[in-house]
Amino acid sequence: MDDLELTMAIQGLSSTSGSEGGGCNMRDLDMNRPASGPEEEFPAGSEEEEGGDGDGDGDGGNRPKKLRLSREQSLLLEESFRLNQTLNPKQKETLASKLRLRQRQVEVWFQNRRARTKLKQTEMECEYLKRCFGLLTEENRRLQREVEELRGLRVAPPTVLSPVTRRPMPASAFTMCPRCQRLSMAAAPPSAAA
């Protein structure tokens, strides 16, 4: 972002500066400017738009110097991107000629811009999920503690002594009254055993 400002400052510089000068600052080297061309609204990172779309880098094999888009170019590209994130060929052509860039450069910019958008979204999602994980972990711990507490509170079932034998009666000896929801003694089994 601030590099754009710097680029802007360079673009705004008058063309009087001798580009080949000895003591020139790094930032005086404006590779966006056409080799010996006149100053224009947008720097031509490309030579001619139409003819050489297929890798127009004419240098002797070396990778061409890195293009830096001017502030105006970036703004217009961003604006277009806001309207739609992919371009049809017509839009690409129009935008490229407005920007004085090759169509391929516009295409690449949009590809990279989509990639950046996606990356940012993924990072945000990641942060969100991390936060969710933290909250759920905390909630899980809390519930575990609660479970432990409830386990500690568990009481043994009541022991009822038989009025006859004076021994604890089995649970099967009771039934729950469906109306009053109270326990009552089941009917005595007919002569259970000897």
Q: Residues interacting with DNA, by CB under 7 A?
A: 1-3, 6, 26-27, 29, 31, 45, 55, 57, 62-69, 74, 86-87, 89, 104-105, 107-109, 111-116, 118
* Comparison of 79 and 139: residue with beta carbon closer to DNA: 79
- Report in angstroms how near the CB of residue 8 gets to DNA at its nearest: 11
Q: Which tokens sit at 153?
A: 């509170």
Cβ of residue 153: shortest distance to DNA, in angstroms? Answer: 52
| Smallest separation, CB 16 to DNA (Å) | 20
* Of 86 and 144, CB closest to DNA: 86
CA atoms lying within 13 Å on the CB side of residue 125: 6
User: By three-state DSSP, how is residue 175 classified?
Assistant: strand
SS3 161: strand
Q: Whole-number minimum distance, CB 151 to DNA, in Å?
A: 47
> What is the smallest separation between the CB atom of 15 and DNA, expressed in angstroms?
18
CA distance 46 to 103: 10
Closer residue to DNA in complex, CB, 90/166: 90
Instruction: Give me 137's structure tokens.
Output: 């972990």
Handedness of CA 88, 89, 95, 99 (dihedral sign): positive
Distance CA 16, CA 111 (A): 36
Closer to DNA at the Cβ: 117 or 162?
117
Phi, psi dihedrals of residue 74, rounded to the nearest 5°: -65, -40
Which CB sits closer to DNA, 108 or 147? 108
